[in-house]
Structure 1
Amino acid sequence: MARRHGEQLDAAIRSAVLDLLAEHGPGGVTMEAVAAAAQTSKPVLYRRWPDRAALLRDTLLQIATTAIPHQDTGSYRTDMLAVLRGWAALFTGPQAAVLRAAIAAAAHDPELSAAFQQDVIGWRKEEMAALLARGIDRGDVRPDVPVEIARELGQSVLWHRLLITGDPITDDLVVQLVDDVLVPFVSPRE
């Protein structure tokens, strides 16, 4: 087998992490298990990550930053459509089971819980605050919008459906959330 480097090796390692997380929970994500599943060596892993917690954090953050758009689209409405469509695609795609497993496992694994809350959710909070600030600057978001609520409002419905109700996450839902809930909530008052 040819040696893999760069993106090819990185993809194999991250795939191994996600497979192990889905199958065995965070306890199954050891450097030894990841190395075996990715067909690489532990020293290769340790050159990139100091420990399994860093590897888990980095993998979960990479999923979120890759799947959830955070570029300025020119309006609050189109920014939120892009963000919620990114979440919807992630929650209905092949990694949905991994996300559910990670969240369930985090309840019993303080290290994974901290990694998820600080890195993934922390990153999203910062990105959503920036999105709202751009909207305020453009004038399509009111300056007194309660940022802590507005940044979580639409996403929380999708998370609730993923983790609690199992109700469908569709593009119609995304559009309805944006047009009927989020835009009216943040729009400047007459």
Structure 2
Amino acid sequence: MTRRRGAELEAAIADAALAVLVQRGAAGVTMEAVAAAAGTSKAVLYRRWPDSAALLRAALLGVAQAAIPTADTGSYRGDMLAVLDGWVNVFTGPRAALMRAAVGAMAQDPELAETFRSGVIDWRKHEMDELLRRGMARGDVRADVPVELARELGQSVLWHRLLITGDPISRELALRLVDDVLVPFVSPPTTAGS
């Protein structure tokens, strides 16, 4: 068997931690369980993370940062469509069960909840703030938009469907959210005669 190192080993460990979370819940994510799932030793894990909670938090942040685009597409509409497409892909792909499990784990683990909010959620808020500021600078987002609401509108519908209603999540839904809700909400008023 080839020995894994560096990024390859860390990716295998993160995948194992997330798989254990889905299968066993937050309480089941122990260093022993993750080491067994990753095919490595607990000592290898402890060299990188102080405990299983830190390992799980790092793995969840990695998923969020990898899944949701942050690049400037040149327009608010394009930026928001890229973000919502990223969430649609997560919520309809193999990571959907992980997202449900992560939210469930937050209810059982206050430290995970706080770290998820301060790490993953705060990171997303910052990225959305930047996206809206770029739109304001370009002129396709009006300057008085309530950023704290605008940054959550589209994503909250997708999360609600994933966690509460079970209604379909699709690219078509993302397009409707962007074109029927988000763009009208932030667009500067049109002037008469234009």
Give the Cα–Cα distance (whole angstroms) in 1 for the partners of residues 73 and 120 of structure 2: 22
The letter of the residue matching 1:38 is A
Counterpart position of 1:62: 62
TM-score, length-normalised on structure 1? 0.97
What residue in structure 1 maps to residue 7 of structure 2? 7
2:108 matched to which residue of 1?
108
Correspondences of 1:1-190 after superposition (within 5 Å): 1-190=1-190
Deviations 1:115-163 (A, max 9, x none): 2211111110000000000000111000000000000000000000000
User: Does the 8 Å contact 2:161/2:167 carry over to 1?
Assistant: yes
Question: In the aligned structure 1, how far is the partner of 2:160 from the partner of 2:39?
Answer: 36
In 2: Cα distance, 1:116 partner to 1:165 partner: 23
Aligned residues: 190
Structure 1, residues 93-113: CA drift from partner, whole Å, max 9, x if none? 001011101111211211221
CA drift at 1:7: 2.6
Paired with 2:152 and 2:98, the residues of 1 have a C-alpha distance of 22
Q: Is the 8 A contact 2:69 2:86 kept in 1?
A: yes
Conservation of the 8 A alpha-carbon contact between 1:53 and 1:115? no
Question: Any gaps of 5 or more consecutive residues in structure 1?
Answer: none
Larger CA deviation: 121-130 vs 10-19:
10-19
CA contact (8 A) 2:26 2:108 kept: no
Query: Hey, what's the Cα distance between the residues in 1 that align with 2:16 and 2:111?
Result: 19
Quick one: which amino acid aligns to residue 68 of structure 2?
Answer: I
Greater shift after overlay, 89-98 or 11-20? 11-20
Once the two structures are TM-superposed, the CA of residue 10 in structure 1 deviates from its matched residue by 1.6
SS of the residue 2:141 aligns to: coil
Return the TM-score normalized by structure 2. Answer: 0.95
Give distance in 2, aligned partners of 1:175 and 1:62.
26
Alpha-carbon distance between aligned partners in 2 of 1:67 and 1:153, rounded to the nearest angstrom: 19
Cα distance in 1 between the residues matched to 2:27 and 2:41: 19
RMSD: 0.9
The one-character-per-residue Cα deviations of 1:52-86 (angstroms, maximum 9, x if unpaired) are: 22111110110010000001110000000000000
Percent identical = 68
Cα distance in 2 for partners of 1:172, 1:99 equals 21
> Are the equivalent residues in 2 in contact too, given 1:129–1:147 (CA < 8 A)?
yes
Q: Secondary structure at the match of 1:107?
A: helix
